[in-house]
Amino acid sequence: MSPVPADVRKLFYKVKKAQGTDITRCFCGLNDPRNIIDSIKYSKEAGMIAQATLSLTVSKVHTVEYYCKLADELIANGADEICLKDMAGIGRPVSLGKIVKHIKTKYPHILVQYHGQTGPGFTPASILEVCNNGCDIIDVGMEPLSWGTGHADVIMVQEMLKDAGFKVPEINMTAYMKARTLTQEFMDDFLGYFIPESNRRLQSLLIAPGLPGGMMGSLMNDLKDNLSAINKSLVKKGQSEITTDDLLIKLFDEVAYVWPRVGYPPLVTPFSQYVKNLAMFNIMQVAKGQERWTMIADNIWDMILGKAGRLPGEVAPEIKELAAKQNRQFYTGNPQDLYPNKLDEFRKEMQEKGWEVGQDEEELFELAMHPEQYRALKSGKAKADFEKELAEEKAKVAKSSTPATSSETFEPKTLNLDVNGEKFVVHVSYGAGASTSATAPAASASQATSAPVSGDVKSVAAPISGKFFKTKDSSETALKIGDSVKNGQIIGYIEAMKVFNAIAADCDGKIVEFCFNSGDDIEEDDIIIRVQ
């Protein structure tokens, strides 16, 4: 999801090899060979087999010739295998077959693997077509997570290929049923509460926007979260509210509008989220009476400006003009050069806090890869937040499936949790305007803070709902009470739809109150800070 320094990337391959992974699938969401070639080099240095990836999508720039040329370049730079990553399942079967045939004809020693999700419904036909052209391995799923937005089921694929005359391994049904049972157990325990029912269905509507099935769950949750905010804006303007289906069609139409204008990035993590989020932000801003493109997160700008890699297509003139107005510069250098090495800084932090770097430095890697999440894990806040969220989801399911005799029956107000010996009190609320919080003993939790106030005070409100963070990574220093801020200065971030959206002060002054801690849930129009 986020670019990292070269020393962190190298440690990634070292750690994963030590943990038992022998084959690494190297891919760049933009298909920029420079990014993939670095990963090929680092993985081979760690003693791994380097499988290089073609991130597949369908557009006027993503042709059979485009992918054949990319495969040639990756193989010339050391790729041991090639994966066709059809993350949205929209690859057309005949075109996929032509790409495989090119690779197997020109490089018969190169193993080819097909990774196709089933969302729109092409996948069984695509599997037959790539196999007929020499594909060696097919990625599959198993019940209860196959089909829908996942992979085609292993039993079906095996029978289909056997019938077509291919030699395929037999399935150990005893092991299959054991794995199936274990999977069902953790779905029953927690995972199933976070999978929307729509994830279990094929949806040919996904062909047009080309969005991956893997992000449909978060997309549907985003729709629920944002529909309320959009309808609130429409009601304020005297317009009729819209339904979830109305919003879904609006989103698909807006993706079709946005995608070519930001250079046709392949719709794979994280760029599928960026395009979808930009489309959603446009819809939300227009509902408020504002113009398109008035809310673009920093990491989306990084993609547009070339800081994540070279875009396949041209950025639209209107976006270039907007970048110029905001004094943003397009970047043509190597993306890795923008991220200097940082492992020594993370080692120092672990030493200062008494944390073990772990066997083969896997703990150091986790901190360097996900700093905010790792710190929340070590403090116990991450588990407390998860337990709170799981309790809420279970309460919703219980309330919807069983008649309640009172409002209290399935709605716990307070949960007492013990996380690694540290006690947390979780307050749970319900309803459209509800908020939730997890509090810990004062010694282990940062508190929302304020200073004595006199005189005029201005408030900075949240433009969207999400999680509030004072910083987005370890390179930034968090603001504190008493710090001076300037109009337009970033005062924090709201993580929404998997991106960090910068929040800027709209006046000069001194911070006199933080209304939220890092990691707290925040609603649109909530006050984030007060400035005197």
Token pair of 109, please? 């020693």
Q: Which long-range contacts (CB under 8 A, 24 or more apart) does 413-422 make?
A: 415/387, 415/388, 415/391, 417/383, 417/384, 417/387, 417/388, 419/380, 419/383, 419/384, 419/387, 420/380, 420/383, 422/380
Give the model's pLDDT for residue 408. Answer: 44
Considering only residues 428 and 274, tell me which one the structure prediction assigns the higher pLDDT: 274
How far, rounded to the nearest angstrom, does the alpha carbon of residue 5 sit from its chain's CA centroid? 19
DSSP H/E element including 420 = none
Is residue 67 over pLDDT 90?
Answer: yes
What span, in angstroms and rounded, lies between the C-alpha atoms of 187 and 167? Answer: 33
Residues 278 and 182 placed together within one structural domain of the fold: no
> Which of these three, 271, 302, 337, is where a domain ends?
337
Within a domain: 289: yes
Q: Given pLDDT bands bounded at 50, 70 and 90, which one contains residue 331? A: very high
> Which of these three, 276, 309, 337, is where a domain ends?
337
What span, in angstroms and rounded, lies between the C-alpha atoms of 335 and 458? Answer: 39
**DSSP string covering 71-108:** HHHHHHTT-SEEEEEETTS---HHHHHHHHHHHHHH-T
Give the model's pLDDT for residue 40. Answer: 96
Is residue 171 over pLDDT 90?
Answer: yes
Q: Given pLDDT bands bounded at 50, 70 and 90, which one contains residue 202? A: confident
Give the model's pLDDT for residue 419. Answer: 53
Residues 36 and 147 placed together within one structural domain of the fold: yes
Residues 260 and 159 placed together within one structural domain of the fold: no
Is residue 130 over pLDDT 80?
Answer: yes
Within a domain: 82: yes
Within a domain: 124: yes
Residues 330 and 248 placed together within one structural domain of the fold: yes
Residue 345: which of 476, 499, 479 has the closest Cα? 476
* Ramachandran assignment for 340, one of left (phi > 0), alpha (psi -120 to 50 degrees), beta (any other): beta
Residues 188 and 234 placed together within one structural domain of the fold: no
Which residue type does 228 have?
A: S
Within a domain: 446: no
CB neighbours of 129 closer than 8 A, spacing ≥ 6? 93, 94, 96, 97
Region 253-271 average pLDDT: 89
> Which of these three, 337, 362, 390, is where a domain ends?
337
How far, rounded to the nearest angstrom, does the alpha carbon of residue 437 sit from its chain's CA centroid? 24
| Stated length of the chain | 532
Percent of the chain surpassing pLDDT 70 = 85
Give the model's pLDDT for residue 393. Answer: 83
In this structure, what is the dihedral angle of CA atoms 221, 301, 35, 343, given to the nearest 10 degrees? -90
Give the model's pLDDT for residue 441. Answer: 40
Residues 156 and 54 placed together within one structural domain of the fold: yes
Give the model's pLDDT for residue 203. Answer: 74
Within a domain: 423: no
Mean pLDDT of all residues belonging to the chain: 84
- Contact between 269 and 1 under an 8 Å Cβ cutoff? The reply is yes
Considering only residues 391 and 317, tell me which one the structure prediction assigns the higher pLDDT: 317
Give the model's pLDDT for residue 283. Answer: 85
pLDDT digits (tens, 9 = 90+) for 84-122: 999 888 899 999 999 999 999 999 999 999 999 888 889
DSSP H/E element including 333 = none
Give the model's pLDDT for residue 294. Answer: 84
Within a domain: 467: yes
CATH number of the domain enclosing 510: 2.40.50.100
CATH number of the domain enclosing 182: 3.20.20.70
SS3 282: helix
**Integer CA distances (angstroms), 98 to 105, 198, 272, 347, in order:** 10, 32, 25, 48
Residues 24 and 162 placed together within one structural domain of the fold: yes
Within a domain: 451: no
Q: How many domains does the chain have?
A: 3
Within a domain: 419: no
pLDDT digits (tens, 9 = 90+) for 225-258: 677 777 887 888 788 888 877 877 888 888 889 9
Residues 502 and 470 placed together within one structural domain of the fold: yes
Give the model's pLDDT for residue 303. Answer: 93
Is residue 307 over pLDDT 80?
Answer: yes
CB neighbours of 420 closer than 8 A, spacing ≥ 6? 380, 383
Give the model's pLDDT for residue 407. Answer: 44
Q: Given pLDDT bands bounded at 50, 70 and 90, which one contains residue 344? A: very high
Is residue 447 over pLDDT 80?
Answer: no
Residues 185 and 51 placed together within one structural domain of the fold: yes
Range of the domain at 464: 458-531
pLDDT digits (tens, 9 = 90+) for 449-496: 555 555 688 888 887 778 888 887 656 778 888 888 888 788 888 887
Token pair of 290, please? 């504002």
Residue 129: which of 163, 94, 157, 103 has the closest Cα? 94
What span, in angstroms and rounded, lies between the C-alpha atoms of 440 and 425? Answer: 6
Token pair of 447, please? 């508190």
Q: Classify residue 493 by burial, with Cβ atoms within 10 Å: 0-12, 13-18, 19+.
A: buried
- Beta 23-26 vs 414-419: how paired, if at all? unpaired
Residues 68 and 33 placed together within one structural domain of the fold: yes
Q: Classify residue 27 by burial, with Cβ atoms within 10 Å: 0-12, 13-18, 19+.
A: buried
What span, in angstroms and rounded, lies between the C-alpha atoms of 397 and 30? Answer: 39
Alpha carbon distance, N-terminus to C-terminus of the chain: 37
Q: Classify residue 95 by burial, with Cβ atoms within 10 Å: 0-12, 13-18, 19+.
A: middle
Residues 89 and 226 placed together within one structural domain of the fold: no
Residues 52 and 176 placed together within one structural domain of the fold: yes
pLDDT digits (tens, 9 = 90+) for 353-402: 999 999 999 999 999 998 888 998 998 988 888 888 888 888 887 777 66
Predicted model pTM:
0.76
Region 405-419 average pLDDT: 51
Is residue 444 over pLDDT 50?
Answer: no
